[in-house]
Structure 1
């Protein structure tokens, strides 16, 4: 674990961060420990045992493994906490399972030995839990981790992302051919279209898988550029544009003042406008609803209202942990902090799954709060391979100062801080000179922090061991 720490003039934010770091630390699994496999509420034992390998809890803590969906969402927080090696190994463990035997799907959960599929979710190579958004989030995560670490070994997963974005998509775009991957359905063991496991009926396409596929194409394009495969990069970028056009044409709101997008397609291909949680907030999270979207404000306001309404709000705290990120990516830190406090304030309440214990014992809560406070409010856009970093700070009302030290970046660490109406700074504790682009003006547009451009022409050069300060 790193020595990540923050300094701020907001005591409640400091308290939230300290709790999140302490909690996340409890969920780390180290090399060399020994423990049972396939522990779950469905198996009272006795259990086989194995040596555990570097990883961390991602999913229900009372099970003996980690989950693909949770891992994808926790990985940035884990990177900030110094779990770079754990992230790379867990990523590889899932990529390795996306085989022809599994139809190109990665398995849903692995035991802490990083090899054995978790039995409660895996009954055989043609019968295991599959949720479509996770396949594309795993592609995106290859690029996200590359942006933080610059580790070129991550680019060796090229075969995985190419097969996924071409062959896998083609194999799942048959009933309603439009370039959007479909689910086999109807249940999670058949392949589900959405992370939302409680829809009103079987879905062919869902907004969260659609948005994740769109983002994965954009991230795959960047990965190809990193390898120097510029024609492949252009092809993936073109597919992303085609998907965006389909979304704009077929999934838009009937009434732009309301912000109710199409959330899915039913088994017959008809549009579904029902509120489906993840299927509704992934399009703005992943950029299908971006700064140029004609009713972006209404979509965000609808999301905010629906998550506050008792009738439509998610019942599980881990679902709510995505909501702050939507608003952070759209330049609304005040709303983001409100949702972070909602998640944090519920930490001692019982989780909806009784065996899980308290909400705060669900690992996603602590890992995502770390990422939202540090990477979110400081607006970190890393590009370690290019020795470049952009900061696009967006502090919520009431926070006048925020700084973070010992942030793992590339082959070392950086420190970043902002004092409103005064200055911003970056400290370089890596072995290479960094090109730092501080964005000083408030920007409420959409930004994917791992797809930011390399604005090196007007960048500030920060030598190893140097701290540079820019007045506001």
Structure 2
């Protein structure tokens, strides 16, 4: 576990970070530790035991495995906590299940042995839980981890992302041939189109899957460039531009200006609030440079706070701070972080889970989101760090120490002038010089793991062991 820590002029954020780091550590699974398999509320035992592999809980704490969706969302927090080896093992284990026998789908959950599908979600090679956004988030995650670690072995997963964005999409684009992957319109054991497991419609195409596919295509392009495959990168970039244009002009356009977040098996548009089907579209960048984005972000904030519209499970809410961080709205992101922390001792919707705060996604994502306020955009392979700081109102000092990056760590923080942020500093704790770029905290969408087209406001080289300061703005 890394020694990552923060300092701030805001005691509440320090308290939340300390709690999240300590609570996340409870989820760690040691390599070689023997434990039971297929533990769940559906299996009273007796249980077969096997050696566990290095991993961590990602999903219900009363089950003996980790889940694809949760893992994809927790992995940045795990990287920051120093669990690079665990991330690599879990990623490889899940990708290994995306076989022809499984139709290219990775299994939904693995036991902590890293080999056996968790029985409650797996009935056989043709009947297991499948939710379409997850396979695309796994493509994105390969690149996200590469940006933090610079680990060239991650580029060895090329066959997975090429198959997913090639043959897999083609095989799931038959009812509405438009380049957008489709779900069955049935339940989760039949390949659901959405993460929303209680949808108001039978989705053939859903906004969260479209958003995840679009983001995966951009991240695959970046992976191809990192591997020297320029033509493949350009092909993915063209595909992504085509998806974005189709979404903007056709797919998302409903009557009377309504925003479409899905299409049913009967070919009808869905414009009602869909939680994940709605917020994943701007979360993944589909509303970048779209005039409708500002109103949609306000509506999402309102509906997530409305008792009728709010998600029933806290793990769904953990995406909301990410959404606003990616749109440079630190105040709204921080408000949602505080809310999630405030209800940590409330009972979880699933009784066996216990309290909200014991759901692993909560502490892992809070760790990542708090560091996210510093606007870190890592590129370990390129020995580059870009910062796009946007602190909440009333917070002028935030610093993070021993942040795992590449083959070492970095420290980064703001300089407190009393009422405003007067500058930024960065210390290089890696073995190579780091190019540190300062990006303006301008409005609009920014994926922290993709390069921005605009030039940085300032750029300096920080030698190993050196600390440098740049003025804000």
Q: TM-score, normalised by structure 2?
A: 0.97
Match of 1:264 in 2: 262
8 Å CA contact 1:388–1:436 kept in 2: the answer is: yes
Q: C-alpha offsets along residues 298-347 of structure 1, whole Å, 9 cap, x if unaligned? A: 01011111111111110100000000110000010000011111111010
Match of 2:394 in 1: 398
Match of 1:30 in 2: 30
Matched ranges for 1:199-348 at <5 A: 199-252=199-252, 254=254, 260-290=258-288, 292-348=289-345
Partner Cα separation in structure 1 for residue 336 and residue 421 of structure 2: 26
Deviation at 1:253, TM superposition (A): 5.2
Q: CA RMSD in A?
A: 1.4
Deviation at 1:254, TM superposition (A): 4.7
Match of 2:445 in 1: 446
8 Å CA contact 1:251–1:261 kept in 2: the answer is: no
Describe the SS at the equivalent of 1:422: strand
Deviation at 1:184, TM superposition (A): 2.0
Q: C-alpha offsets along residues 260-303 of structure 1, whole Å, 9 cap, x if unaligned? A: 5211110112111111100000011000011x101111010111
Unaligned runs of 5+ in 1: none
Partner Cα separation in structure 2 for residue 442 and residue 65 of structure 1: 39
Partner Cα separation in structure 1 for residue 171 and residue 158 of structure 2: 19
Partner Cα separation in structure 2 for residue 456 and residue 324 of structure 1: 25
Partner Cα separation in structure 1 for residue 212 and residue 177 of structure 2: 18
Deviation at 1:255, TM superposition (A): 7.9
Deviation at 1:466, TM superposition (A): 0.5
Describe the SS at the equivalent of 1:163: helix
Matching of residue 369 in structure 1 with residue 374 in structure 2: no
The aligned length equals 467
Q: TM-score, normalised by structure 1?
A: 0.97
Describe the SS at the equivalent of 1:72: helix
Match of 1:196 in 2: 196
Describe the SS at the equivalent of 1:311: coil
Partner Cα separation in structure 1 for residue 195 and residue 318 of structure 2: 14
Deviation at 1:157, TM superposition (A): 0.2
Deviation at 1:456, TM superposition (A): 8.1
Matching of residue 181 in structure 1 with residue 181 in structure 2: yes
Unaligned runs of 5+ in 2: none
8 Å CA contact 2:414–2:421 kept in 1: the answer is: no
8 Å CA contact 1:388–1:456 kept in 2: the answer is: no
Match of 2:461 in 1: 461
Partner Cα separation in structure 1 for residue 421 and residue 205 of structure 2: 47
Partner Cα separation in structure 1 for residue 392 and residue 255 of structure 2: 31
8 Å CA contact 1:436–1:456 kept in 2: the answer is: no
Partner Cα separation in structure 1 for residue 470 and residue 217 of structure 2: 36
Q: Which moved more, 1:421-430 or 1:281-290?
A: 421-430
8 Å CA contact 1:97–1:105 kept in 2: the answer is: yes
Partner Cα separation in structure 1 for residue 240 and residue 144 of structure 2: 17
